[in-house]
Amino acid sequence: MKEYKLERYIKVFQYLLLIIVAIFMFFPIFWVFSNSLKTLNGISEYPPQIFPKNPQWGNYIEVFKQTNVLGYMKNSLILIVGNTLGTLLSSSLVAYPLARMEFKGKGTVFGLILATMMVPTVTLIIPQFILFREFGWLDSFLPMIVPSFFAYPYNVFLFRQFFKTIPKSIDEAAMIDGCSKFQIFTKIIVPLAKPTFITVGVLSTVFWWNELFAPLIFIDSDSLKPLTIGSLQSFTLQGGQNMTAWNLQMAFAVLMIVPPMILYMFANKYLVTGMKTSGMKD
C-alpha cells in the first residue's frame, strides 16, 4: 500500500513538473501574441498588461496592408521547396550506398562526411560569397538552393541509420526478381523510409522558414526577400527618429509561428518514428 501511494506521489510530482516546464516554454509565445493585440503605446505601459483590455485585432489586417506578406511568403516557399527537394534527393542517394552496399573505404568516406559537421558554417560564408559572385548568382535564390543538392551531413546520417535497419534480405530477394540497385532504392527503400523522409523534410522546412543569415548575405532586392527579412524591415516608423512598430512586429511574428506549429502537429507521429529509428546503433 505504501509503495502504491509513493508511486502516485511520484507520478503527481512528475505531471506538476511537466506542467510548470510547459508553462515556462509556452509563455514567450503567449507574450508575443499578447503584444500583437496591443497599441504601440500599450506595449510600453508599466506595469505591463498580461492581456490587453481592448484587443487590437486590426493589427493583423494592418500587417497585410503595410507589408508585402504574400510576396515574402512566396519567396520563403520557393526556398523551402527547393531546399527540401534538394536535400531529400541528395542526402538519401548518398546514404543509400553507405548503408546498403559494400565497398572499400566506406567507413572512411562516412567519417569524412560526419567530420564536415565540425566546420562552423560562418567560416564558409566568405568563400561561398566569392564563388557565387563569380558565378553571377548573387541577388538570386541559387546560392541558397543549389548547395542543398550536394547533401547535408546530418541528413545523410539520419538516412543511413534508418536504411541500415531494413533487412538486407529484401535487397537480395529483389535482385533475384531482376531489380537493379536503383530500382531497389526507388521501389523498396524509399517507401519503407517514409518516416525519415518526412522527418528530414520537416527539419528542412522549419530551418528555411526561419533562416535569416543566408538571405541577408545573398539577397538585395526587396522582391526576393523571404519572410524573415521582410519582417525586420517593414515596421520602422519615420519620425523625429526611427522607431519600430512593435505591436505590428509581434503580429507578424505570430503569423510566422503558426505554420511550423501546424506542420509539427500533423507530422509529430512521423518525426518521433524517424528520430527513434535513425538513432539505432549499427
Per residue, the 3-state secondary structure of 151-188, as one string, reads CCHHHHHHHHHHHCCCCHHHHHHHHHCCCCHHHHHHHH
The fold for domain 64-278 equals MetI-like fold (1.10.3720)
Helix (H) and strand (E) counts for the chain?
A: 15, 2
pLDDT in tens, the chain (282 residues): 566 677 788 888 889 999 999 999 888 889 889 888 888 888 877 787 888 888 888 888 888 888 888 889 999 999 999 999 999 999 999 999 998 888 888 889 988 998 988 888 888 889 999 999 999 999 999 999 999 999 889 899 989 988 988 888 888 888 888 888 888 898 889 998 888 898 899 999 999 999 988 999 999 888 899 988 887 777 765 444 567 778 888 888 888 888 888 888 887 777 766 665 554 555
Task: Give the whole-angstrom CA distance, residue 221 versus residue 190.
Answer: 39
Domain definitions of the chain by residue range: 2-59, 64-278
Listed in sequence order, the residues at least 6 apart from 206 whose beta carbon sits closer than 8 Å to its beta carbon are 260, 263, 264
Q: What is the pTM of this model?
A: 0.83
Q: Cell digits for 109?
A: 568516406
Question: 105, 148 in Cβ contact below 8 A?
Answer: no
Q: Among residues 93, 209, 210, 195, which one has the least CA distance to residue 152?
A: 93
Residue 37 to residue 247: CA distance in whole angstroms: 7
Cβ(82)–Cβ(145) below 8 Å:
yes
pLDDT of residue 242: 60
d(CA 43, CA 249): 12
pLDDT the model gives residue 2 = 61
DSSP string, 25-37: HHHHHHHHHHHHT
Task: Evaluate the omega torsion of the peptide bond into residue 47 and state whether it is cis, within 30 degrees of 0.
Answer: yes
